[in-house]
Amino acid sequence: MKKIILSAVALLAFGFANAQEAASTGTQTAKGKWLIEANTGFGAIRGANTSFSYNSQGDIKEMNLGAEAGYFIMDNLAIKAGIGYNSFDDGTVDGSGFAYKIGAKYYILGMIPVQVDYTGASGDIYEAGPDAETPSYLGVQAGYAWFLGENVSIEPGVRYNSSLNDKYTEDGMFQVCVGFALHF
């Protein structure tokens, strides 16, 4: 119990100190800040997803769990990376895989996030053999950031994914997402 109380006090002290630093630098998207983000993925792209989503249509069930992080290399511009776990079952194919994402996110006027990224995946969810392909997408997204204090933002937006291979061209090109971000 003593360890829990000490940990809580340390966490509060860190949060207070970080809030004071954020107030002195002016914005949550200033150079040197960190971004940790979790997104919901409506219209998720099959197998290459770093968001939280669950889709079920008849015998087809797909689950995605993931998160992204970024570092602001200059005011309003973050370099980001993400990772996700994907599970797929359609009654005949049952497997899992991991997705990865790398990209850049720019906040226009400090509140309109625009992102460009590459998303790929690997794992046993994809068919084996000489013609097997893993999903690979180039994505673009835009939205609006509502900052709820110094460290939290909610970022609803839209996303377009362009497939970079032949096998996954029909899967979820448009997405409507809601992102939840922590800024440190």
Tens digits of residue pLDDT in 134-156: 888 899 999 999 999 889 999 99
Mean pLDDT across the chain: 81
Q: What are the sequence ranges of the domains in the chain?
A: 28-183
What confidence score (pLDDT) does residue 122 get?
Answer: 84
- What average pLDDT score do residues 62-77 get? 94
Q: Which fold has domain 28-183?
A: Porin (2.40.160)
So what's the pLDDT on residue 22? 41
- Please give the Cα distance from 150 to 172 (Å, whole number): 34
- Please spell the DSSP secondary structure of 64-115, one letter per residue: EEEEEEEEEEETTEEEEEEEEEEEEE-SS-EEEEEEEEEEEEEEETTTEEEE
Give the residue with greater pLDDT, 167 vs 44: 167
Decide if 22 contacts 151 (C-beta within 8 A). yes
- Comparing 24 with 115, the larger pLDDT belongs to 115
pTM listed for this prediction:
0.77
Quick one: pLDDT at residue 20? 40
